[in-house]
């Protein structure tokens, strides 16, 4: 696919809103995305067909429902990278949107890894403790392998063609968080251990009391209270 075609798919506000919503890593129905973007069901269906046809989304039908999700981690990285180079988002319209944006800035998922202030803090701590190093590209050090094993972070289920660890520029913090196999494994670990929990149906995460203790004990991270 040419760059112009891909850029054209993301140049529409509605299609861009769909892709940003799908950065939570989950599958959404066409109706859910239509409500999120404030468009009609028929308009949503038309835009989703273009995104699926362009290879940015994949769909799965279950009964009457049509579910879509981002095609793969590369598409998620593209969306997040483009967001980080975009102008700051406009001021929130109303208290509900303001609360959502503040929550996402503190902690959220970026497809399948941690982002926001939490994601950046985890990346900083892992670099600072020598668990991740930048040796002509990010690598997990021997100390990092030992730390992951001791903490119980399983990196085996996410192996494949993805890099073990890569940097992803955070669009709210304008600093990198961790993606790749390690980033996804860390996100799975925090959710399964109830160190973080999802807030509503969006991308925002809330750090639990247990999570605050764990992040401090394991990585020396002190998080601001909400």
- What does the alpha-carbon distance between residue 89 and residue 217 come to, in Å, rounded to a whole number? 35
On the question of pLDDT at 143 being above 60, the answer is yes
Tokens 């998080």 correspond to 223
Reported as a pLDDT band with limits 50, 70 and 90, residue 92 is: low
pLDDT in tens, 74-88: 888 888 888 777 666
- DSSP, collapsed to helix, strand or coil, labels residue 32 as helix
What pLDDT does residue 159 have? Answer: 63
Alpha helices, H only, 26-72: 30-37, 41-53
What does residue 100 show for φ and ψ, rounded to 5 degrees?
A: -65, -45
- Mean pLDDT over all residues of the chain? 87
On the question of pLDDT at 121 being above 90, the answer is yes
Distances (CA, A) of 132 to 36, 82, 166, 183: 37, 25, 10, 11
Sorted by where each begins, the domain ranges of the chain are: 3-71, 95-219
What pLDDT does residue 224 have? Answer: 72
Burial label, 85 (beta-carbon count in 10 A; 0-12, 13-18, 19+): exposed
pLDDT in tens, 204-224: 899 999 999 999 999 999 887
8 Å CB contact between 196 and 133: no
What pLDDT does residue 158 have? Answer: 62
Fold of the domain spanning 3-71: Arc Repressor Mutant, subunit A (1.10.10)
């Amino acid at each position: 696919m040419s760059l112009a075609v891909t850029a054209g798919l993301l140049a529409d506000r509605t299609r861009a809103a769909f892709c940003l919503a799908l950065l939570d890593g989950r599958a959404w129905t066409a109706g859910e995305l239509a409500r999120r973007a404030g468009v009609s069901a028929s308009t949503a269906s038309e835009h989703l067909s273009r995104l699926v046809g362009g290879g940015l989304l994949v769909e799965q039908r279950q009964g009457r429902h049509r579910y879509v999700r981002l095609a793969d981690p590369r598409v998620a990285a593209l969306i997040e990278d483009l967001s980080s180079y975009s102008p700051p988002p406009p001021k929130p319209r109303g208290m509900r949107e303001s609360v959502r944006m503040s929550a996402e800035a503190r902690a959220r998922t970026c497809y399948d890894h941690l982002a926001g202030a939490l994601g950046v803090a985890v990346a900083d701590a892992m670099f600072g403790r020598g668990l991740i190093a930048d040796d002509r590209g990010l690598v997990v050090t021997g100390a990092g392998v030992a730390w992951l094993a001791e903490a119980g972070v399983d990196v085996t289920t996410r192996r494949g063609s993805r890099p073990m660890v890569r940097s992803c520029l955070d669009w709210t913090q304008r600093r990198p968080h961790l993606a790749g196999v390690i980033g996804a494994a860390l996100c799975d670990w925090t959710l399964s251990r109830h160190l973080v929990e999802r807030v509503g149906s969006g991308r925002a995460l809330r750090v639990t009391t247990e999570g605050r203790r764990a992040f401090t004990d394991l990585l020396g991270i002190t998080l601001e209270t909400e």
